[in-house]
Structure 1
Amino acid sequence: MKKIWLLIVLVCALSACSDNERSNKNPYIPNYSVNLSVDMNLPAYSNLKFPSNGVIVPNYGAKGIIVFNTGSGYNAFDAACPNQEINSCIAMTIDGINAVCSCDKIQYSLFTGLGSKQYPLKQYRVEVSGTVIHVYN
């Protein structure tokens, strides 16, 4: 009997473990392989050195990658609208600290990725080394 309880506890503990804070599954955005390096010394990306600034890097992910300086680190999200079919909208735009979907004008926080609909922005992993931001999945 003790072995059964131990097994149940072990299975529960293992199923609760995750390397992401939230699920990154979205039926509208395919899982494209992303391996992007952004050098903040380049003029196109120099705004990323300052908090609350973001840029969209085209031709990565589904509709481009939004890289955002949170002040305490960097976030990277897919620029595809997370609650729309992939071909129905153009890439999101940045409006201050939010990303705005071109189809329904829903705003998503670039600090959290959350908006007012079911799915949040599709997030990618970020590592920073000096002035280079590496975005990957």
Structure 2
Amino acid sequence: MKRIWGLILIVCLLSCDKERTNRNPFLQEISFQFELNLNLPLYSPLTNDGNSIYVGNSQAGTRGVFVVNTGFNTFRAFEASCPNHAPNECSTMTLNNQVVTCACEDFEYSVYTGQQFSPPEDGTRYYNMLEYRASFSGGNVVVISN
């Protein structure tokens, strides 16, 4: 019985991956917390399911944040800087309905999932949008943080 437990322990130790995350080398993960009061006209579009907005505040993310209401008081927030190169003059993405576009190379991403549409198949590692925590804290306030 001890041999079986010893074998299981060895297998578990050998199967552990030292690199636990697939860290994006282009974007720094900065700490911040920002509140969106949905009673304010600037953020009121988020009171409707499916709507998304760009928050270009210097206190939220590197280049701002895209926030989407995915329904049932659930929100998602993503970094507005293109995830596939270091921040520069063209890396702040633009929101067009439910699609976010990086002007540098016209890469497109889903504002719902943060996933890149049609990544090139050239052997290069491409990253999806960096997601931040978004929580609805009653009283019509969405808290975005990292």
1:24 and 1:122 in contact (8 A); partners too: no
Cα deviation code 1:3-36 (max 9, x no counterpart): 3233246558986xx8xxxx56211111111211
Aligned length: 131
Specify every segment of 5 or more residues in structure 2 that has no aligned partner in the other structure, as ranges. Answer: 120-125
The percent identity for this pair of structures is 34
Specify every segment of 5 or more residues in structure 1 that has no aligned partner in the other structure, as ranges. Answer: none
Cα deviation code 1:86-125 (max 9, x no counterpart): 1252411111111111211211001111013310000011
CA distance in 2, matches of 1:119, 1:125: 18
2:7 aligned to 5, 8, 29, which one? 5
1:119 aligned to 95, 119, 127, which one? 127
TM-score (norm 2): 0.79
Deviates most, 46-55 or 86-95 = 86-95
1:99 and 1:110 in contact (8 A); partners too: yes
- Name the counterpart of 1:64: 64
Cα deviation code 1:29-79 (max 9, x no counterpart): 111112111110111000001122111112121100111111242110000
Of structures 1 and 2, the larger Rg is shown by 2
Instruction: Provide the secondary structure at the position in 2 that maps to 1:43.
Output: coil
TM-score (norm 1): 0.83
CA distance in 1, matches of 2:15, 2:55: 38
Q: Give the root-mean-square deviation of aligned CA atoms.
A: 2.2
